[in-house]
Chains A and B, each alone.
Chain A
Amino acid sequence: MAPAVSAAFLSSLVEAVEALTIVLSAATVRGWRPAGLGALAGLASLALIVLALGPLLDHVPLQALQLVTGVLLLLFGMRWLRKAILRAAGVIPLHDEALAFAAGTAALRDQALHHNTRLDWLAGLASYKAMVLEGLEVVFVVIAVGAGRGLLVPASIGALAACALVAAVGFAVQRPLARVPENTLKFAVGVMLSAFGVFWTGEGLGVPWPGADLAILGFAALFLIAAVAAVRLVRSPAQQAIS
């Protein structure tokens, strides 16, 4: 249960930090009313999606559910891990929440120049879109790590705890959470989700993994070793000399 809850908590932490940055951008440009309303509307839409589609999960055969979520987890988790590897190796720049905040604010102000009367609407829409898209990622991770073994409730609690934590801290400090070590988190979550992806895909194909659920920890260790090796391989000789 612990790996599922940890994966849900950590990935939700990253998504919530990204959503918070966009909501704060909208609030900075146009105030909390449109930004807050957009965020609340986004949360309501997410709740509707979960309520409408959630019960369908009970009707999907377990093996098909494991296979589909496994493949999607592989695509999602390995994409995160690859990006974290490239960032850790210095090939692409680290994600900077302060920079994302400045870019989001500038983009909204630029739109304001052209559509002044619609600025409230645009700020609300930006918040809404951020909540729905980042929220969908959270919902997907919760379903993917929790549905195959009846761990939806603990995974949901992990995700909700992360979102509540980010919302509380963000509301208190009123600025982007730039100090959150986002790439380290993405690296860890990428490793865990990739491990879950291999496990569920294998279960969906009828593979009897040695050690049953404990195999996930072994896969995570292998993905971690491979990812660390990849960072070292990707780093250019000049960068290695500097570090």
Chain B
Amino acid sequence: MRTLVNVFRELAGLFIDDGLFALAIGVVVVLAAIVAAIAPAVPIAAGAVLLVGCLGVLLYSR
């Protein structure tokens, strides 16, 4: 069991290092998904939210 937990932890560590940083990326993706759902006529809006959000997270998370 302990080995499995360790393996899972190692695998999660590939994607999540700083929890807040990962959470911020997740929030950006969810916001983009919400925009895509409420404004299907302007799909590029979701793309803009995604791109600007990710760049913002990168700059803000120094």
Contact = CB atoms under 8 A, between A and B. Distances in A.
B15 A79 contact: yes
Contacts of A82: 18, 21, 58, 61
A70 to B, nearest CB: 8
Nearest to B35: A205
A226 B58 CA distance: 7
A230 B59 contact: yes
> Lowest 6 A-B CB distances belong to which pairs?
A207-B47, A75-B15, A205-B36, A202-B47, A234-B62, A226-B55
Given A75-B25, A194-B54, A233-B62, A83 B44 contact: no
| Secondary structure class of chain A's binding surface, majority of residues | helix
Interface in B39-62: 40, 43-44, 46-47, 50-51, 54-55, 57-59, 61-62
Contacts, number: 90
Interface of A: 71-72, 74-76, 78-79, 81-83, 85-86, 133, 136-137, 140, 194, 197-198, 201-202, 205-210, 219, 222-223, 226-227, 229-230, 233-234
B50 A205 contact: yes
Contacts of A197: 54
Nearest to A91: B62
A196 B51 CA distance: 11
Given A198-B51, A223-B55, A75 B16 contact: yes
Contacts of A219: 51
Contacts of B18: 79, 82
Contacts of A74: 25, 29, 54
A208 B44 contact: yes
B25 to A, nearest CB: 5
Given A75-B16, A79-B21, A205-B33, A223 B58 contact: yes
Interface string B14-42: 11111001100110010011001000100
Nearest to A79: B17
A227 B62 CA distance: 10
Given A82-B18, A201-B32, 18 more contacts: A74-B29, A75-B16, A78-B21, A78-B54, A79-B21, A140-B14, A194-B54, A197-B54, A201-B29, A202-B47, A205-B32, A205-B43, A205-B46, A206-B40, A209-B47, A222-B51, A230-B58, A230-B59
Nearest to A137: B14
B62 A230 contact: yes
A206 B36 contact: yes
A189 to B, nearest CB: 14
B42 to A, nearest CB: 10
A201 B36 CA distance: 12
A78 B36 contact: no
Contacts of B54: 74, 78, 194, 197-198
